[in-house]
Amino acid sequence: ETGVTQTPRHLVMGMTNKKSLKCEQHLGHNAMYWYKQSAKKPLELMFVYNFKEQTENNSVPSRFSPECPNSSHLFLHLHTLQPEDSALYLCASSQDNRAVLIRKLFFGSGTQLSVL
């Protein structure tokens, strides 16, 4: 158990559906991330939040909409997705502090998303 919990573990949705992925971290971290992992490709950074504020949007299409209501929770709202969006979506957290020289990522188990 890494201290980062993602739900649901699996999700199948049609292209016209609206769904949300949820991430919760119990580590007291102040930075949270969404990554996309497609088959045989490196993890792709999607969004970064520091102290609830979005600090990075890695040119992600608007059909992906993140929400970070507090430092412990992170959501990814999905609407009108495409089949090529099928992938493993990973949430991670870290302690973002200038006193921490090595920022260590803790990952959740991911949501395996299939878009039909």
Partner 1 sequence: KNQVEQSPQSLIILEGKNCTLQCNYTVSPFSNLRWYKQDTGRGPVSLTIMTFSENTKSNGRYTATLDADTKQSSLHITASQLSDSASYICVVSADYGQNFVFGPGTRLSVLP
- The residues that touch partner 1, with contacts defined as CB under 8 A, are 2, 4, 6, 9, 31, 33, 40-43, 45, 48, 55-56, 90, 92, 94, 96, 98, 101-110, 112
**DSSP 8-state class, residue 105:** P
Residues 6+ apart with CB under 8 A from 26: 3, 4, 5, 72
Residue type, position 42, single letter: P
Using an 8 Å Cβ cutoff, are 37 and 88 in contact?
yes
Least CB distance from residue 35 to partner 1, whole Å? 8
**Is the preceding peptide bond at 69 cis, omega within 30 degrees of 0?**
no
Specify the residue, 15 or 100, whose C-beta has the smaller distance to partner 1: 100
Specify the residue, 6 or 71, whose C-beta has the smaller distance to partner 1: 6
The two tokens of residue 80 are 């009108």
Specify the residue, 15 or 58, whose C-beta has the smaller distance to partner 1: 58
Least CB distance from residue 13 to partner 1, whole Å? 19
Least CB distance from residue 34 to partner 1, whole Å? 12
